[in-house]
Structure 1
């Protein structure tokens, strides 16, 4: 069995799920976690953040339910309203980080979301990936080069296809994959204890 985490780095609920995700990964070091980027803000949805008037209310709900932090840097982006969230660029960056440290994909996904939702750093710029890579002790030059390379765009598109093949159209979604079976564990939010219960049900043959 392995876990598959489908998220979008610009999704507030994915940011809110970061603590649970980190706890689940720490509790189950034997379970590999595949991290897949979704395409929440692509095509016609790639618009200035002011176009999404629900964001602030949604963030308040996310904070209340999950304890997630939305920092001053991010709040300044909201107040200005002109920032454009581009999920393809974020997926390219996640692919570059994942390539640099495949076994740390969960940690790096969480760090990438903090860069945006706490620091207010664009996930479309090389500087952000340099910052995240340096903080993680990775080769920052290699990560930036991978982010800028054509292969990153192919990797982003492959992630979007993977999410679609898994039937995921909402983020975050956590799946258990057992052989050919794809078993939903979480869609939106759950505590780590709830995930543990669902994993235990799968291993005993009675998934709920």
Structure 2
């Protein structure tokens, strides 16, 4: 069995949920997890106007209240040139996975999220993503330079694999982020179609894993 987290680095609820999934991993260290990027707003080309950024802060306040994680509102509001295209950040997660298949994908995702939500960096930019992701990979024991990461991120293969992730999420019927799934062989079970805290998450995983085991036992009977 393994967990599958469908998320987008520029989804604020995914940012909050990352903390809860990390706590789940700490409580169940043997449970493997992989990240599939969902593509919240890929391909956006228009600059996000200030009134839309202000509206986004209402979501941030709810995530902050639920998760306790900080947000840098000042930097977000100050970026008058922000194009809220989430594909580049999604592709950075995929690129790290391509370069180091054994890497802690959740840790990379959370590093990119922190760069945006806390450090106020524009993670729609390739050079910013290369700096952040290369540092995250190095911190996880995978030597990487920003230049090498950027070259891999710019590749056609990285673009294609990111698009494949988006399509896979839709084939699974995932329509909201974050979504946590449990994969057991060729079966996929929904654990959390949205944010819940770590305690609820652990309970859900146990329930779903138990149901999966019972279904397998019935199939073998």
TM-score strictly above 0.5: yes
1:167 aligns with 2:173: yes
Structure 1 unpaired stretches of 5+: none
- 1:1-208 equivalent positions in 2, closer than 5 A: 1-43=1-43, 45-50=44-49, 52=52, 53-71=54-72, 75-102=74-101, 103-132=103-132, 133-137=134-138, 138-140=143-145, 141-205=147-211
Tell me the SS of whatever aligns to 1:54.
Answer: helix
Structure 2 unpaired stretches of 5+: 214-221
How far apart are 1:185 and its partner, in Å?
A: 1.2
How far apart are 1:46 and its partner, in Å?
A: 4.5
Range that drifts further, 113-122 or 4-13: 113-122
Tell me the SS of whatever aligns to 1:33.
Answer: strand
The alignment of Structure 1 onto Structure 2 pairs a total of residues equal to: 204
Tell me the distance in 2 between the aligned counterparts of 1:122 and 1:151. 23
Tell me the distance in 1 between the aligned counterparts of 2:71 and 2:46. 20
RMSD: 2.0
How far apart are 1:2 and its partner, in Å?
A: 0.9
Superposed CA offset, 1:107-160 (max 9, x none): 001111111111122223232233221244131233221111111110110110
Tell me the distance in 2 between the aligned counterparts of 1:154 and 1:194. 35
The structure whose Rg is larger is 2
How far apart are 1:181 and its partner, in Å?
A: 2.4
Structure-2 change in CA distance of 1:195 and 1:153 (3 Å): same
Contact in 2 for aligned 1:14/1:172 (Cα 8 Å)? yes
Contact in 2 for aligned 1:98/1:108 (Cα 8 Å)? no
What is the match of residue 218 of structure 2?
A: none
